Structure 1
Amino acid sequence: MSTETTSIAVIGGGSWATALVKILSEGNTHIHWWLRSKHDIEHMKTYGRNPSYLSDVEIDSEKVFPTQQLKEAVAAASHVLLVIPSAFVSEVLGKLQPSDLAGKVVISAVKGMIAGKNSLVTDYIHEQLGVPTSHLLVVAGPCHAEEVAQERQSYLTIGGNDLAQAEFFASLLRCHYIKAYPNLDLDGVQYAAVLKNIVALACGIARGLNYGDNFQSVLVSNAMQEMKRFLDKVRPETPRDLNESAYLGDLLVTAYSQFSRNRTFGNMIGRGYSVKSAQVEMNMIAEGYYAVKAVYQANKQHFQAYTPIVDAVYHILYEKISPIVEFRILKDKLK
């Protein structure tokens, strides 16, 4: 863990942002936490808890400073941690200029792609705001916010192109319940985080259709093969071991955990909910819903990897093909 105080701007007020604030506040940090909700900010200042997400987590008022002023939070920090749904990244970052991020390390904990552009979050930050790739990092799992709140032993992966930057940010996250490790596969770690959400949707749909454990094990093992085919097309030059936690581990926890909102969303779709009704009932964003459209379109346009699971989920969610029909087709493609 770092021995010097580091100032970090955390952008986002959801459960994952709250969990990361909790982790970072275990170390020598000052956290300038930007949230949209004035009510949540005032509640935190009064009661030391986020009333909307992970309300059992105590916020350390000596280290954490909630604010609605985005530019002020960023200006006060050397590191900017982005923890908002992918659908809102363009809107929030549109309030910043390249000069606001000059010289800062920007870390994405967004588990999705930029809507409408089908690009990775780090690519978007690099292209739109001029942050050099050496100053871009990504936070990956396997890790659920709910278990962080309970201080259960968890692991994080920090992907980046610069080992020193990745290791430094990993050191800020290490505490008695978090282990964190650097990984030099910046793009692969991000794509893996996107793909595992789509697989979790597929696992949820399968459960909703009353497929059992036997089928899900085959689905997940095929998903690993699909991930390899996709990453080999996207970044074939980057060495990676898909058995590592950032890939296989993150996929497993998202596909099987009771806390996986993507799995829950998929389960509802499999049981006959419409997309809109499932979104309303969950009242939380399942990143896989947006991710599958981005991956499907990017793959068709640029990569042409064989992705039957991605294709099946896309057909169900965006082409309104019956889950029963689509999974009858999919099961014949798995082995």
Structure 2
Amino acid sequence: MSEISEKLRIAIIGSGSWATALAKMFMNNLPGLNWYFRKEETIELFRKFHHNPNYLQAVEFDVDRIHFYSDINEIAEQSDILVFAIPSAFLKDALKDLKVDITNKFVVSAIKGIVPDDNLVVGQFFHEYFNVPYEQFGVIAGPCHAEEVARELLSYLTIASPDVKKARQFAFLLESPYIRTHISDDIWGTEYSSVLKNIMAIAAGISHGLRYGDNFQAVLMSNAIQEIKRFVDTVHPITRDIKSSAYLGDLLVTGYSQYSRNRTFGTMIGKGYTVRSAMLEMHMIAEGYFATKCIREINSRYNVNMPITDAVFNILYESISPAIELRILTEHLR
């Protein structure tokens, strides 16, 4: 066991499939783990059956090495690193009772979403609401579905933080024969790219639901990465390689994968489901739905050319026919 992992107390805040996948990764390298569940009855079922009763049930855990919490203040007090894996739409509500000072914690986002109404990416949210310095903030990015982690299929993660040393130490705690990591200092680009790729995946799903073929999907995705680049370079202009896995890789897996909830949501919309009926049938949150409105509002300040985002917004929020909107979008793609 490494000196780093012996010293740090890691907490996962969240109980979904990605939180469960992260727990599996950490348990490869840590003697113990702190894990927050909102409901005490879920904790009791987990202890009894040795797996998350609601997500990735095939993944078994040594529950004697897990310290479960249902009190957000208690787990924050007892941990050095806080890894948040809560859908962005629920983040404010989940933390409304948090009173513990977390400014000296290393706060890591595994959310890949944006906080609705506030239109803040997660780093901004913790900075503005909890005074977390950006140097104490990190992002888990890259193409990595929880279902494939559960099956121990080779996956790559990018850990981004302005403090590259912290990012490297944190990345070490996730590595295993099936998890490889890279380091970045681009928290803004990785966060915004993670938000935008969900919107692009909804567009991919809508086109699939409308029976557009692979040829069109390829054109859509190539235009999508250009749209992401235009936006992130405008909002946070630094030198970055948009073709790396944290950006392009994440876009591709979200746009094409059978596990992508945003693509699934878009496919249902393309097939004629209403937004409400699609969400109810999925039983999961499609982050791109909320992101579409947030990015549209943010872009009203920047005026970046974003035809795919605009098309998805018109379909989801203006009730324009997906068939009509996609036909219009085809005239803007190259």
TM score, norm. by length of structure 1: 0.97
Q: Contact (CA 8 Å) 1:204, 1:264: kept in 2 or not? A: yes
Kindly state the Cα deviation for residue 30 of structure 1 after the two structures are TM-superposed: 2.6
**What are the superposed Cα offsets for residues 313-333 of structure 1, whole Å, 9 maximum, x if unpaired?**
010000111001100110000
Compute the displacement of 1:155 (Å): 0.7
What is the identity, as a one-letter code, of the residue corresponding to 1:78? Answer: D
Shift of 1:2: 4.0
C-alpha displacement of 1:149 = 0.5
Q: Which residue of 1 is the match for residue 135 of structure 2? A: 134
C-alpha contact 1:8 1:29 (8 A) present in aligned 2: no
2:293 aligned residue: 293
Structure 1 match to 2:50: 48
Q: How far off is 1:29 after superposition? A: 4.4
Please name the residue that 1:224 is paired with. Answer: 225
The Cα shift of 1:72 comes to: 1.1
Answer yes or no: is the 8 Å Cα contact 1:36–1:68 preserved in 2: yes
Offset, 1:94: 2.0
**Equivalences for residues 246-261 of structure 1 within 5 A:** 246-261=246-261
- Name the residue aligned to 1:309: 308
Partner residue, 1:277: 277
Counterpart of 1:62 in structure 2 is: 64
State TM-score, norm by structure 2. Answer: 0.97
Q: CA deviation at 1:60?
A: 2.2
Does the alignment pair 1:143 with 2:160?
no
1:23 partner letter: M
1:62-107 CA distances to partner (integer Å, 9 max, x unpaired)? Answer: 322222111111111100000000011111222213x431311000
Q: Distance in 2 between matches of 1:166 and 1:29?
A: 20
CA contact (8 A) 1:71 1:100 kept: no
Q: What secondary structure is seen at the aligned counterpart in 1 of 2:20? A: helix
Asked whether the 8 Å contact 1:2–1:172 carries over to 2, the reply is no
3-state SS of paired residue (1:65): strand
Structure 2 residue aligned with 1:35: 37
> Does structure 2 retain, via aligned residues, the 8 Å contact 1:13–1:34?
yes
Which aligned segments of 4 or more residues in structure 1 are displaced greater than 2 angstroms? 1-4
Q: Please say if residues 193 and 247 of structure 1, whose CA atoms lie closer than 8 Å, have aligned partners that are also in contact.
A: yes
SS in 1 for 2:140: strand
* One-letter amino acid of the counterpart of residue 168, structure 2: E
Structure 1 counterpart of 2:27: 25
**What is the rounded CA distance, in whole Å, between the counterparts of 2:189 and 2:103 in structure 1?**
25
Number of residue pairs matched?
332
**Hey, what's the Cα distance between the residues in 1 that align with 2:226 and 2:31?**
40
How many Å apart are 1:15 and its aligned residue? 0.4
For 2:196, the equivalent position in structure 1 comes to 195
> Which residue in the other structure is 1:94 paired with?
96
CA distance in 2, matches of 1:170, 1:9: 15
Structure-2 separation of matches of 1:251 and 1:52: 27
Say whether 1:333 aligns with 2:308.
no
Match of 1:103 in 2: 104
What CA deviation, in whole Å up to 9, does each residue of 1:193-246 have, x standing for no partner? 01111110000000000000000000000001101110111001x221011100
User: Gaps (5+ residues) in structure 2?
Assistant: none
